Amino acid sequence: MSDPGPALKVILDALRDALARPDVRAALGDVGRYLVSLSESGTEVTGTRATPDAAAAPEASETPPRATAAPSLAVELKPSLQPMPIIGPAVPTKLRIGDSNPLEVVTRGAGIVSAREIAPEPAPPPPPARRHEEEELPDLKRVAASALLKAEACARAARGENTGSLRDQILALRAGEEAFDGGLWMCSWLDPEGRARASKAEPCYRALAAAAELGAFLRDRDRLHPGEGLEEPFRLMAQSQSMVRNFVGDGRGDDLDQLDMFLWLRTLTSEHRCRVRVDRYMRRNDVAPPEDAPGVLAVLASSFESWKTRLDGAKERRRLIGKVRHKAGLLAAGSLDTPTVWKDLERVFGDLAAIGVRPGDPEVVAALAGVPEVPAGFAPSEGLAEALRRARESSNKHDTSTDESDGERDTDHSSPEVAEAAKLLRGRVMLLIGGEVKPLRREAIEKAFGLRELKWIGANMTDASTDDFEPQLRRPETSLVVRMIRFTRTNHGELLDLCKRYSRPFVNLPAGYGVNQLAAEILAQAGEQLKTLPPVPAG
């Protein structure tokens, strides 16, 4: 035969068909494992063909002999007395026979050095589930910048001016993204109807930019948590992104800035994040009218300034109280330049009054602890004098160790803060953590604030964990949580995180629990949040 190719093809096809049969694959696996065991035991296979014994050979006869079976192959296993010399480098080879695990066979020359079965590799562990807090949010700072550029492009397009440079800037903000931005329609040639459309779209894009700027600000200030009063900002953001949808129809595709704002809101309004319900403008068939854009833009600007003022005021408040603490420490240590320090302290109190901090603020009073008597010749302002008086009263109450009996002595007359706090707490349930539970004190607090109940977990009823009172936080009727700093072992950070999780207003009480001081702390730390609570049901 000159060309063995066709014959080899027939043989290979037959082998392929045979290997498709499970029994053939299993048999080949058995043979492979058998050969491996031979290589490891150092035996060799010899075969001898059985031949008929000469003595038993049949005599010649004219009668033709009967057909006999083919001679059998006798297999004998015996130790290798003279092994074949192994020449050449070791060559590892990976083989798989049938359905068995793969084999690693190491050969050298014509001989097998070793063979071993390779265990299957374990499947890689699944990636850890991402916490909801770690979900990536769209970049609202980029959305704000892009939406402003689109608003400017709309203004130019409405005047018939070229918008090519603005288009390049918008595309540069999303460099590397493959998604098509259907919100660049205003950067192409527009007929008179298109120009009118661009004029109408301009305030909508400006509102979207303002909404994105507010969202980015709240995230930077770590205010995206339950109970932060996000209902109104989220409603405005939803309305602003919905208005842009009026201009991305007709098969143009999604506006990527509008889509980012929508995805940002959808993520944060979920049950696992801020738990804020937005009833309107988060569905495709519920589109906000573009005519409302100027009004929405004005409210967004006002809301941003209000949030900024409030949060910047809190930061300034902390800074100034820190200065009070520093000056008080200098005076308590006997500063050599006492008159100057007193004047500096007076100046700081003027700054505190300018941002609305009252002299009786508990943090201010606590910062003045240890300040000596006012020296002769220095006349403090009314505010500083009031704060010093309260600081001395507080110090006198707690000079007798950690016994809290003096904390039961309230002044005969309740302060105006008590009446103001009572308006927010009447009919509600308050949770007080720390101190020693005293029935008379509990009744006094319940009566002063008109509480439905004061649940009090004393320091001797809990350890440093939060496990003992988390069930109380979960109860829907719990409206306020107050922690006594001096008389509890509970970790502040853990408790604050729990209160955020269950949207419970939280107050740190630095000293004493008289109703006047308690009211001042509640108003200062949780007054605004209490105002957002739903009214207490009648009866």
> What residue ranges do the domains of the chain occupy?
1-44+88-118, 136-288, 311-397, 415-531
Planar angle of CA 534, 537, 539, nearest 5 degrees:
160
Residue 438: band (very low, low, confident or very high) from pLDDT cuts 50, 70, 90: confident
Which CA distances in Å does 238 have to 149, 232, 539? 20, 10, 36
Strand partners, 108: 90, 111
383: how many CB neighbours lie within 10 A of its CB?
18
Task: At 134, list the tokens.
Answer: 């770690």
The one-letter code for the residue type at 539 is: G
Q: How far apart are the C-alpha atoms of 124 and 286, rounded to whole Å?
A: 45
Residue 529: is its pLDDT beyond 80?
yes
pLDDT computed for residue 154 by the predictor: 95
pTM exceeds 0.75 for this model: no
Q: How far apart are the C-alpha atoms of 54 and 67, rounded to whole Å?
A: 18
pLDDT computed for residue 50 by the predictor: 42
- Contact predicate 363/510, CB 8 Å: yes
Question: Average model confidence (pLDDT) for the chain?
Answer: 78
Task: At 309, list the tokens.
Answer: 């003022």
Residue 409: is its pLDDT beyond 50?
no
In 394-404, which positions are buried (b, 16+ CB within 10 angstroms) versus exposed (e)?
A: bbebbeeeeeb
Give Dmax over CA atoms of the chain in angstroms. Answer: 156
pLDDT computed for residue 158 by the predictor: 94
First-last CA distance in the chain: 108
pLDDT computed for residue 397 by the predictor: 58
Lowest mean pLDDT among 22-26, 94-98, 208-212, 293-297: 94-98
pLDDT computed for residue 156 by the predictor: 95
Q: What is the mean pLDDT of residues 149-170?
A: 93
Is domain 415-531 given the CATH code 3.40.50.1370 in the classification?
yes
Q: What is the mean pLDDT of residues 419-431?
A: 92
- Contact predicate 137/219, CB 8 Å: yes
- Contact predicate 166/202, CB 8 Å: no
Residue 80: band (very low, low, confident or very high) from pLDDT cuts 50, 70, 90: very low
- Contact predicate 465/492, CB 8 Å: no
Question: Could you give the percent of the chain with pLDDT greater than 90?
Answer: 28
